[in-house]
Chain A
């Protein structure tokens, strides 16, 4: 009787063992679930090597080419003005011995004005080159910004970070680096 009773109603320590096994299995199951099915998405936050994108973007290369061509043209104009001024100086130096004083003063006045015009032109060109450089660069940055916005939305990225020389991103796993794929898509879009 006692034996039957013992077999029908397991003792307390056996009940506790069963309960602890069930709890352990449940815990293991939950941990497995978290590990394999509830991983944080690897595409939520990605980063881009900004300098690489900026330098290798076809739009930037084109902007640099256009800027260099314009600069060369302006420099050529300035060189012409300089050459004219130097010629005028050389001519004055040759002729000044024979010239009366009044004419010497008049010629020197003309040369002074010519020099001031050349200097003013050089200064104006420097400002113009600075403005042009800034405008072209800003245009490129605006294009890249717009593209990254569209690209991130299409790919489902929540944040796209940019690395800079000052170190906004100190480290990033290679799997989160989307520089090459972004640059490829950006350049394809430029020539679409």
Chain B
């Protein structure tokens, strides 16, 4: 009898310790955007907010499928294979205060003293961000293979940059251990930012439930 009770308690403990697996899309987004789950980080300095979000493979696949309205398993599997070769992050830079929605509060104009400064900022954010971003741990440091700033057509005061690292390089150079995402800010006087990611948080990210 005692053994049975102990076994039941053990099973209940094991079940309760399991992280969520399949989630509906809305719940999945809530999970991703909850800082307690370790996939989104935030820093603030000099009236600027930096948000870094890890984008799991499932999320990227869903974005593609949603765009085309496709839910076929074969296409999903092939997209997972494609996205599985990379590690993708979204770095969002936004003003902390000021009237939201106003163009003059945009991060593109923050601290700018003329057209030359604006031009340099636009060029750096569009073409040179990979020089100031990296993934590292005690084993090494790697640069992204792709950085792409989203075009917001000036409807947003913030700017988002997709940062992609090669999974193969991450596994080879960083040896599958916890790593830090480093951003050396050259534009907004916020200094160097280090965002630590636990590989277990990445591995435990849930999958999206497709109906």
Cβ–Cβ < 8 Å partners of A59 in chain B: 191-192
User: In B37-59, which residues have CB < 8 Å from any A CB?
Assistant: 41, 43-46
Q: Main SS of the interface on chain A? A: helix
In contact, A191 and B190 (Cβ under 8 angstroms): no
Cβ-neighbour of A191 out of B44, B46, B191, B196 (below 8 A): B196
Cβ–Cβ < 8 Å partners of B191 in chain A: 59, 63, 136, 138-140, 142-143
In contact, B180 and A66 (Cβ under 8 angstroms): no
Q: How many of chain B's residues have a CB under 8 angstroms from any CB in A?
A: 16
Q: What is the CA–CA distance of A79 and B43 in the complex, to the nearest angstrom?
A: 39
Cβ-neighbour of B185 out of A139, A145, A146, A192 (below 8 A): A139
CB within 8 Å for A191 and B194 given contacts A66-B184, A142-B45, A146-B44: yes
Q: What is the CA–CA distance of A60 and B1 in the complex, to the nearest angstrom?
A: 61
Interface residues on A, range: 10 to 19
User: In A163-192, which residues have CB < 8 Å from any B CB?
Assistant: 190-192
Cβ-neighbour of A63 out of B41, B44, B180, B192 (below 8 A): B192
Q: A residues touching B (Cβ–Cβ < 8 Å)?
A: 59, 62-63, 66, 135-136, 138-140, 142-143, 145-146, 190-192
Q: B residues touching A (Cβ–Cβ < 8 Å)?
A: 41, 43-46, 180, 184-186, 189-192, 194-196
Given contacts A139-B190, A143-B45, 16 further A-B contacts (CB under 8 A): A63-B192, A136-B191, A139-B185, A139-B189, A142-B45, A142-B46, A142-B190, A143-B43, A143-B191, A145-B45, A146-B45, A191-B180, A191-B194, A191-B196, A192-B41, A192-B195
